[in-house]
Amino acid sequence: MSQFWKPGTEKPRILEDEEGGVVYLSHSLSSSSSSSSSSRYGYASIENQRQRLPVYKYRSAILYLVESHATSIIVGETGSGKTTQIPQYLKEAGWADGGRLIACTQPRRLAVQAVSSRVAEEMGVKLGEEVGYRIRFEDVTTPDVTRIKFLTDGVLLREMMDDPLLTKYSVIMVDEAHERSISTDMLLGLLKKIQRCRPELRLIISSATIEVKTMAAFFQPSKRRRRLEGDELGPKMDPAILSVEGRGFNVQIHYVEDPVSDYVRAAVSTVMLINDKEPAGDVLVFLTGEDDIDAAVKMLTEEAQNIKKSSSGLVILPLYSGLPRADQELVFSPTPRGKRKIVISTNIAETSLTLEGVVYVVDSGFSKQRFYNPISDLENLIVAPISKASARQRAGRAGRVRPGKCYRLYTEDYFAKEMSVEGIPEMQRSNLVSCVIQLKALGIDNILGFDWPASPSPEAMVRALEVLYSLGVLDDDAKLTSPVGFQIAEIPLEPMVSKMILSSNELACSEEIITIAAILSVQSIWASGRGAQKELDEAKLRFAAAEGDHVTFLNVYKGFLQSGKSSKWCYTNCVNYHAMKKAIEVRGQLRRIAQRLGIVLKSCERDMQVVRKAVTSGFFANACQLEAYSHGGMYKTIRGSQEVYIHPSSVLFRVNPKWIIYHSLVSTDRQYMRNVISIDPSWLIEAAPHFYKQRHNPVLH
């Protein structure tokens, strides 16, 4: 065993850049690696395996930085082992002594589960004891026993509602911070605030991109604060930066010489070229969405049939999240001997899923990205160029098993000069209603002055404040109202859905509304079509309610319960069994929360008018009136006179009631309303007098 640095002993040799207050560690200075030279095929103990990870060389440096700096930023490519090893190093160094906890957050649930079970295995303990995890619905930890806890960043944000200073934790490691999700950014902003009250708390920000200057600048204390701190004992407030190399193989990058006009066609011919010229190895193609992917699969299948050479066999598989589970799993099956697997995927393969055996990547340079317009309050999905960071991540997918190649369907000049370094943080591309209410609930009064890693536009924040005001969540001073505001903040759903649940109490239909809220929170309860469109439409008719989609959901739920929650029943009725199971889980959680908030669980039996009124109380802002019968029924929103249409998947498509409320809009060539319910316009003034009366709406008066 090599000697590790312990607090109080001589520090390891590290270069310090006092000017910027940033610590760099050059590779040559790192402590000697004790990576074992035993054959990689031979037996290696867990300890040996741990020591072979690139991060191991930096063990004492990391512990030194964490001891001496309030915030350490660790840059490490995939395969460095930072996620599994750093929490263990911290525990070994005593950071979990005295009943304290080490936290490590992840953006995704699956990662939380995978990483925690790996770490438990390495430590030789039972998952849920010394090492545990927590995600929504699953708290696999034991109080006073668990020392290392993996959790989603969303869960840690929720934990702050009960314990605003997160006092249980001695170190919090925020992993995958480069992804810049809304909850990661919120967490970073809040952790920076917590640090001021808890100087003993240590933060580790873990990022895969080299561009960490902005992150370091964010955690840099202001000059004034630094003066105040003076020479006090304790960690330096200046963030430290440490870079750890990854363990990926080299990936050779190829660019096109001239820009391509049709990236689907270009992707297909590139795959054919790889198949023709390159040795065995699977291919991963990044396109933007279902349409692109289906087109590419079709073209490739045709081309492959045309050549039909003796040995050339392609296994062509699409991959996107909307694909039925069984089809998704096909991409993980081993490639048959003599065949080449071609996976054509969305961004899901960039971060969420890892495919082994990929040696060639084809990168279109585009992905679908969400953009939010605070003026129209609309979120749109738009095909947009990816960032350099994304391009690098995609390329890295080719180097997991052996040296690979990445074919970029854009020019080198474009990559160098036009591609942005990093993507726009999600915070700046989204509706902020949920985010703002959560900050308010944590006592952040000055939302416009909140110190974010990347500030959203003032327009977006003002819009969120307006919506929350109209829902009665905020008062004239933009403070959370009591009890409504606090209750809505407590419910882990969009505020408009939460408002609907609160109103269901007075309307005595909480059981029905909670069912609707649960079903709206899962992707879709209908089995995705794939050639069975007719069956799906027929199945929908069996459940269809004249009132609209929300009431239809209640019928499906009733049928599912009567079948004994049968998967066979789901199959024959084109209902997605997994989605129903998830909805039932969410429903259980919501019932518990509702009870805690004093909502009486009560069914309205067959009275659907109260159900529609409850929906109206949350979604009054989405009310529309039928204007014309063109294109199957053109509606206009009452609020903004925006032209909208009922989505053909709705049970009210072509039924066209005069007044409806929609749950959400999808924007394509038109604005389509998904999940609509018919209402009586008089309910609007009843539900939101301030919202509709102040506008002197001629339609309603």
Number of residues binding to DNA, judged by CB under 7 A: 50
Stretch that binds DNA, among 57-65, 225-233, 278-286, 526-534 (CB under 7 A): 526-534
Stretch that binds DNA, among 203-211, 387-395, 480-488, 490-498 (CB under 7 A): 490-498
Q: State the CB neighbour count (10 A cutoff) for residue 10.
A: 7
Q: How far is the CB of 221 from DNA (least distance, A)?
A: 30
On the CB side of 284, CA atoms within 13 Å amount to 30
Q: Which of residues 628-657 bind DNA (CB under 7 A)?
A: 632, 647-649, 653
Stretch that binds DNA, among 234-242, 277-285, 550-558, 665-673 (CB under 7 A): 665-673
Is residue 654 a contact partner of residue 592, using CB atoms and an 8 Å limit? Answer: no
| Token code pair at residue 440 | 């308010």
Residue 650's SS3 state is: coil
Q: Does 543 help bind DNA (rule: CB under 7 A)? A: no
Of residues 30, 195, 270, 369, which one binds DNA by CB under 7 A?
369
Q: How far is the CB of 489 from DNA (least distance, A)?
A: 10
Stretch that binds DNA, among 15-23, 217-225, 341-349, 448-456 (CB under 7 A): 341-349
The end-to-end CA distance of the chain, in Å, is 82
Q: How far is the CB of 648 from DNA (least distance, A)?
A: 4
CA distance 288 to 382: 10
CA distance 507 to 373: 34
Q: How far is the CB of 310 from DNA (least distance, A)?
A: 36
Q: Which of residues 299-328 bind DNA (CB under 7 A)?
A: 320-322
From the number of C-beta atoms within 10 Å of its C-beta (0-12, 13-18, 19+), residue 432 rates as buried
Q: Does 481 help bind DNA (rule: CB under 7 A)? A: no
Kindly provide the b/e burial profile for residues 17-55, where b requires at least 16 CB atoms within 10 angstroms of the residue's own CB. Answer: eeeebbbebeeeebbeeeeeeeeeeeeeeeeeebbbbbb
Q: Does 528 help bind DNA (rule: CB under 7 A)? A: yes
Considering beta carbons, is residue 272 or 570 the nearer one to DNA? 570
Of residues 29, 46, 110, 532, which one binds DNA by CB under 7 A?
110
Considering beta carbons, is residue 9 or 533 the nearer one to DNA? 533
Closest-CA residue to 202 (of 113, 134, 81, 104):
104
Q: Does 139 help bind DNA (rule: CB under 7 A)? A: no
Contact letters (x/-) for DNA, 494-523, by CB under 7 A? x--------------------------x--
Contacts of residue 390, defined as CB under 8 A and 6 or more positions apart, other chains included, come to 350, 367, 423
Q: Does 669 help bind DNA (rule: CB under 7 A)? A: yes
The amino acid present at 635, given as its one-letter code, is Y
CA distance 434 to 495: 6
Stretch that binds DNA, among 42-50, 258-266, 342-350, 471-479 (CB under 7 A): 342-350
Of residues 70, 493, 516, 554, which one binds DNA by CB under 7 A?
493
Q: Does 347 help bind DNA (rule: CB under 7 A)? A: yes
DSSP string, 482-516: TTHHHHHHHSSS-HHHHHHHHHHHHTT-HHHHHHH
Of residues 44, 256, 330, 348, which one binds DNA by CB under 7 A?
348
Of residues 668, 696, 698, 701, which one binds DNA by CB under 7 A?
668
Of residues 11, 100, 109, 591, which one binds DNA by CB under 7 A?
109
Q: Does 290 help bind DNA (rule: CB under 7 A)? A: yes
| Token code pair at residue 425 | 């943080």
Q: Which of residues 406-465 bind DNA (CB under 7 A)?
A: 426, 434
Stretch that binds DNA, among 79-87, 187-195, 283-291, 393-401 (CB under 7 A): 283-291
Q: How far is the CB of 278 from DNA (least distance, A)?
A: 27
Residue 54: DSSP 8-state: G
The amino acid present at 124, given as its one-letter code, is G
Distances (CA, A) of 451 to 37, 219, 446, 673: 48, 10, 10, 36
Q: Which residue has the tokens 């363990």?
A: 247
Contacts of residue 351, defined as CB under 8 A and 6 or more positions apart, other chains included, come to 108, 176, 179, 393
Contacts with DNA, residue ranges (CB under 7 A): 107-110, 135-136, 152, 154-155, 158, 181, 183, 288-291, 320-322, 346-348, 352, 367-370, 381, 426, 434, 492-494, 521, 524, 528-529, 533, 537, 632, 647-649, 653, 666-670, 672
